[in-house]
Amino acid sequence: MSVEEGTKRSLLERLQDNYRLVILDDDDLREVTSFSFSLLIVYILLSSVMVLLTVMVVSFIVFTPVKRWIPGYGEIKENSEFVELTRRIDELEKQVQAHDTYTMGLKNMLKSIENAEVEQASKSPQPLKNSDVVESMKTRALDHLVFASPLSGSISAEYDPSREHLGTDIIAPKGTAVKSVMEGIVLSAEWSVESGNSVLIQHPRNIVSVYKHNSAILVKPGQKVQTGQAVAIIGNSGEMSSGPHLHFELWYDGQPVNPKNYISFN
């Protein structure tokens, strides 16, 4: 009967049964101390200790470098950092390369201008007197090259070195885009009192193109441009400009050449 009663009691009731732990002196069996407890209390205490321990261990792993020893955990984070660093190095390398190309173009241009000046000084005092002959000799190398037109319009002033006009002036409607005649790297893109907003582009084979009096500049120094890419918007900026037009110059090997011989502006 008592066994049946035992099985009928619920688990909670059994857990609530009180027990007493008595500690006796081994010599005279005198009671030293005693504790009264139920199994429920023991379970709650043990569970709390387990939870606390788990929380402590997890925090220890997550918030200290110990996590690096856990396979996979640290590696993922370090890998992503590594990938990010590699990407930034690639980016910096590209920037350095672009900068090198730009510096080289600038050096070449300065060198060719210097050479031209020395050449001019050592030759006759009026080297441009018979300019067409000089030009045809100097620029034979340009004949087989194909240039894009910077814009379509009507020519208002021709290239005329005797008047110190080293470019061709072309009139076009307001807002017309001025395009690069060839692929290259922007040497300078800035405003000056005399020329207004000007763009200088270094092309392969020591060719430099110049675009002056623009209303706006669309490129930055060091930037790579493609043939036909818009680099500026036509304007009337600068003291030397008397109306909306593009003053276009083409230089080869440090010498200005007549743009009309190589480029059609119609």
Selected range binding Zn ion among 47-55, 62-70, 114-122, 169-177, rule: CB under 5 A: 169-177
Q: What is the distance between the alpha carbons of residues 87 and 76, in angstroms, rounded to a whole number?
A: 17
The distance of closest approach from Cβ of residue 99 to Zn ion in the complex, given in angstroms and rounded to an integer, is 32
- 3-class secondary-structure state, position 105: helix
Q: What is the distance between the alpha carbons of residues 243 and 217, in angstroms, rounded to a whole number?
A: 18
Measured from the CB atom, the residue of 73 and 262 that comes closer to Zn ion is: 262
Other C-beta atoms closer than 10 Å to the C-beta of 189 total 21
Closest residue to Zn ion, based on beta-carbon distance: 247
Measured from the CB atom, the residue of 105 and 237 that comes closer to Zn ion is: 237
Task: Rule CB under 5 A: say whether 213 interacts with Zn ion.
Answer: no
The distance of closest approach from Cβ of residue 107 to Zn ion in the complex, given in angstroms and rounded to an integer, is 28
Q: How does DSSP classify residue 47? A: H
- Which residue of 181, 247, 252, 265 would you call a contact of Zn ion, by CB under 5 A? 247
Task: Rule CB under 5 A: say whether 169 interacts with Zn ion.
Answer: yes
The distance of closest approach from Cβ of residue 198 to Zn ion in the complex, given in angstroms and rounded to an integer, is 11
Other C-beta atoms closer than 10 Å to the C-beta of 86 total 10
- Angle CA 81–84–90, to nearest 5: 140
Task: Rule CB under 5 A: say whether 249 interacts with Zn ion.
Answer: no
Structure tokens at 184: 């290259």
Q: Which residues lie closer than 8 Å to 187 by C-beta, 6 or more apart?
A: 102, 105, 106, 109, 200, 201, 202, 208, 221
Site pattern 103..132 for Zn ion (x: CB under 5 A): ------------------------------
Selected range binding Zn ion among 168-176, 179-187, 192-200, 252-260, rule: CB under 5 A: 168-176
Positions that interact with Zn ion (CB under 5 A): 169, 247
